[in-house]
Amino acid sequence: MELLNRFLRYVACPTTSDEASEACPSTEGQRVLGRLLVEELTAMGARDAHMDEHGYVYAVIPANRPERGPVIGFIAHMDTSPDCSGENIRASVVAYEGGDVLLNAERQLVLSAEEFRILKNHIGKHLVVTDGTTLLGADDKAGIAEIMTMAETLLHTGRPHGEVRIAFTPDEEIGRGADKFDVEKFGCDFAYTADGGTLGELEYENFNAASATLTVHGTNIHPGSAKDKMKNAITMAMEFHALLPADQTPEKTEGYEGFFHLCDMSGTVEEAKLSYIIRDHDRAKFEEKKALFAAAAATLNAKYGEGCFEAAVRDSYYNMKEQILPHMEIIDRAKSAMEKAGMTPKTVPIRGGTDGARLSYMGLPCPNLCTGGENYHGRFEFIPVEDMERCAEMLVNLACDR
């Protein structure tokens, strides 16, 4: 029950990150949650629990067995996705017996069993849901609650374990979670992010990722006399988008398939701006996608005039698989911990990224563990209480593994 209470406390703190902000963390709510976590860690007896000047929370659970083993880290992020509102979250617990779940009687909002067929796997469990107007925040406050429950278990039960270190990061959802992470201070041999979804999933492959922007410069002429003079930046931008592969978009890909995703578009006849993300698990295909983006701009510059299309591409993170393969024993540890908690481990590629992807390239091997949630980043997000409990047990097993 304390795990559930923790989770409900944490989701009540609005912590949506803000890409437009230059601050770290990008929103003050993340500091509010960080201070709460420091207070709770200190009260339960963790050592050196503190929040640094950048809003990162760190703490140590000292070893209570004589033999020295590896120092293991556990990491989760405090922010929630800006893809959906995280303000005034109204969470409730439903004993699920099948069928649709009524989230909001006033607005007749339901979690549809037909639309979300994963629900059938959770009959007989207690689901934490929203009222259908906000996200829930299980990504990643479930991970935080599970790590905190692990910490309390280690500190209060006397179960033998090695040294464990904990970190909670800001701004993971906007790609900045590892920006100011102090790997040296963290002092771990390896770590795990608790930032996954469905029970049993274990991830050590993720997308190579880049952000890309296109700026189109047009020429505005009165439409009555525009023939052979006007360059409409909006329609030119549409022409650019049509040069990208139509079958390589998020809604048409799965598994290891990469994509171009148009996230935002705005403009006038004079100027248009398009924002994309580019993703692929395969590094060579990733580089090909970036080259294709630049080549499309070059093709249209040849047609409309040099400088009409400005393409800028910036790498965000890379596939952690390259860094994990030399350390597969940490994957074996995770599989064993899952099995002891009654899970069936399933290694799957992340169709996204985690703090662990960048941390692995910063010298801290860091695969990703399930937290039990479903439908992240949307109004129909939910998480079974029983699955959170299994995940917390998995973390304890990992900490106590010799």
Burial (CB count within 10 angstroms: exposed 0-12, middle 13-18, buried 19+), residue 104 = middle
Question: Is the CB of residue 143 less than 8 Å from the CB of residue 193?
Answer: yes
Question: Measured between alpha carbons, how far is residue 103 from residues 21, 111, 379 in Å?
Answer: 33, 7, 10
Active site residue 282: no
Q: Which of 131, 172, 173, 387 is catalytic?
A: 172
Distance in angstroms (rounded) separating the CA atoms of residues 74 and 143 = 9
Distance in angstroms (rounded) separating the CA atoms of residues 276 and 244 = 11
Neighbours of 193 (CB within 10 A): 28
- What is the phi/psi pair of residue 346, to 5°? -140, 110
Residue 185 in tokens: 């201070």
Q: Which of 79, 171, 203, 280 is catalytic?
A: 79
Distance in angstroms (rounded) separating the CA atoms of residues 283 and 273 = 27
Nearest to 80 by CA among 12, 20, 152: 12
Task: Tell me the angle at which helices 138-157 and 2-11 cross, rounded to the nearest 10 degrees.
Answer: 140
Residue 281 in tokens: 């698990």
Nearest to 339 by CA among 279, 398, 254: 398
Active site residue 140: no
Question: Is the CB of residue 64 less than 8 Å from the CB of residue 158?
Answer: yes
Active-site residue set: 79, 172
